[in-house]
Structure 1
């Protein structure tokens, strides 16, 4: 199991928590919570070692567009970069709903 940590500057506020996905073969779980700091902090827990640069590039692309202040935990079970991007976008969309998930 490998744990990676990333941080990106943020200017937008995240209003609600979000939980999307499941930890299962080829998928991942994303937990997103608002942060009072002007940064996004992402902790990735993955069983696939050696993909630090891939994670960095995918997250950098996402947070360049969506600079939200959030604490994010990603529990990965071999998801592809496309699935990672989709789950992050899904979590962001869920966090914008007024309903509590």
Structure 2
């Protein structure tokens, strides 16, 4: 297993709503994404535990793209991965963000 951590500066606050959102399933070729609202001095922190070693640059690119499209503040993203492709990672991140935003009043 490999553990990766990333931190991006956020500019946008999430609308009020649920404290967290969880999507995906930890299974072969898939991953689980948990989004949590936490006071992080305006940052987005991402913590990844993955079975696929040596793909840090690809994770950096996929997560950098997500952070550029969604520069969110005070958000922790936890990812448990079992070899998901970059497309699946992007899909799950979008699904989790949508689930968190759907909970807003």
Residue 35 of structure 1, CA deviation: 2.5
Q: After TM superposition, where is structure 1 displaced by more than 3 Å over at least 4 residues in a row? A: none
Count of residues in correspondence between the two structures: 99
Aligned to 1:79: 84
Greater per-residue strand proportion: 1
Cα distance between partner residues in 2 of 1:35 and 1:85? 22
Aligned match of 1:58 in 52, 59, 62?
Answer: 62
1:32 matched to 2:35? The reply is yes
Mind listing any 5+ residue stretches in structure 2 that lack a counterpart? none
Mind listing any 5+ residue stretches in structure 1 that lack a counterpart? none
Cα distance between partner residues in 1 of 2:103 and 2:64? 27
Aligned to 2:7: 7
TM-score (norm 1): 0.93
CA RMSD of aligned residues (A): 1.2
Aligned to 2:93: 88
TM-score (norm 2): 0.89
Cα distance between partner residues in 2 of 1:57 and 1:98? 29
Residue 46 of structure 1, CA deviation: 0.2
